[in-house]
Amino acid sequence: MSKISKSYSKFIKSKLEYHGSFGFDIGKKDINPMLFDFQKDIVKWALKKGRAALFTMTGTGKTPMQLEWGNLVNKHTGGDILILAPLAVSKQTQREGDKFGIKVNICRTQKDVKTGLNITNYEMLSHFNPSKFTGIVLDESSILKSYDSKTRTEIIEAFAKTSYRLACTATPSPNDYMELGNHSEFLGVMSRTEMLSMFFVHDMATTQKWRLKRHAEDKYWEWLSSWAVVLTKPSDLGYEDNGFILPPLVIKKITIPFEGEFGKYLFPMPAETLIERRQARKQTTSERVLECAKIANKEDGTFLVWCDLNYESDMLRKKIKDSVEVKGSDSREFKEKALLGFAKGDIRVLVTKPSIAGFGMNWQHCNNMAFVGLSDSFEQYFQAVRRCWRFGQTKPVNVYIITSELEGNVVRNIKRKEQAAEKMIDEMVVHTQNIIMENIQNTKRELAIYNPTIEMKIPNWLMEEV
């Protein structure tokens, strides 16, 4: 066989093999005994893979799992581990580490790094040398969608040579299969471009729409299951759900009537464009704020208020008693102090934006929240609701959605995306649970089976020796 044909055969073989294992075996008895059985098995599998993603629902214990993963990688290799997390999550993670006997060092620059596990905010990455770390963990990795493509690329490229990689999020950006490509690329499984060309077809009717090839659907899910765990609750993988059952989620929609001029129409028409939606929100700001204040001021316990615009945030702070406002222009120190103060119960009402505090915080102590208007981002809405409605919450969670009647299109858009997200997550679980159960229980390497049906005839000139 010529050198060219040998190289081509090697190339084909490499494409047929699913994501292999780059890690090490460890006995289940050597994993932190404080973890639940399903968490131990997931950690064991992720260590065997070396580079993996944990797509597990809020409250299933991603923090202790990623900490134990990093702790055991550090013990096995002797190398340092870096955890990248959203703002204010570092101290929360450090406290969680204390519960499980795992020391976590909060750092701001490379000079602060200590032997073992280190954690910092995503925004501080430029102050670190990625080559100094043996392992990297992306906490709330779906937050990458909130950054521009340049930042996402920088994170992916910064750790392209890191031996051990773990990505953790409740959802890999719901209703967007393409976002899985970013995770795949970060883990070194397959580039986003390769994923699209192998499993998807471009829908020419919509410039950004890609559809999963019908004949490639099963192989796509097999491929995903070779490097990711998808879990909404322990029973998805055959474990007991004891302690992992969510309380009711009560959505209370409040529509504020529009009292302004209708222009050329006899009745209010839903805002269509971004400019129209912003105008509609501004015209009903006072009414929406007062409605929210009326609800929040009646509550004796904690209350979480989400908004998107600065003038809304300022008015809410003034109208709601015992409220603390956290806005984008505040210092990092103030933001962290306020978010952690709310978590500890020192602050009764927190007013902020999903873009600031929608990721990573555990606020199960609070079961009442309000959205004073909605943006078009279902990801932000989903994550914001999940700060309180998560495993560990003991009370029904009340979510007030206060919008103008002109914002009907935004509400419908969020509802559509929510349905798409639920469908996607259900599909991920259905298609992957059997394969993942087998992977976790056996931690074995998966291979794609290639069954050729057409004989390929190679031209004589290609067979010639070089």
Domains located in the chain, CATH noted: 18-243 (3.40.50.300), 249-417 (3.40.50.300)
The pLDDT > 70 percentage for the chain reads 81
Starting at the earlier edge strand, list the strands of the sheet with 164-169. Answer: 104-106, 117-121, 81-85, 135-139, 164-169, 51-56, 228-231
The pLDDT > 90 percentage for the chain reads 53
**Interatomic CA distance for residues 424 and 204, integer angstroms:** 22
Stated pTM of the model = 0.81
Q: What is the pLDDT of residue 448?
A: 44
Q: What are phi and psi of 255, to 5 degrees?
A: -105, 120
**Interatomic CA distance for residues 231 and 436, integer angstroms:** 10
- For 47-97, where are the E strands, in sequence order? 51-56, 81-85
| 415 confidence band (pLDDT: 50, 70, 90) | confident
Q: What is the mean pLDDT of the chain?
A: 84
What would the pLDDT profile of 79-102 be if each residue is shown by its tens digit?
999 999 998 899 999 999 999 999
Inform me whether the pLDDT recorded for 356 exceeds 50: yes
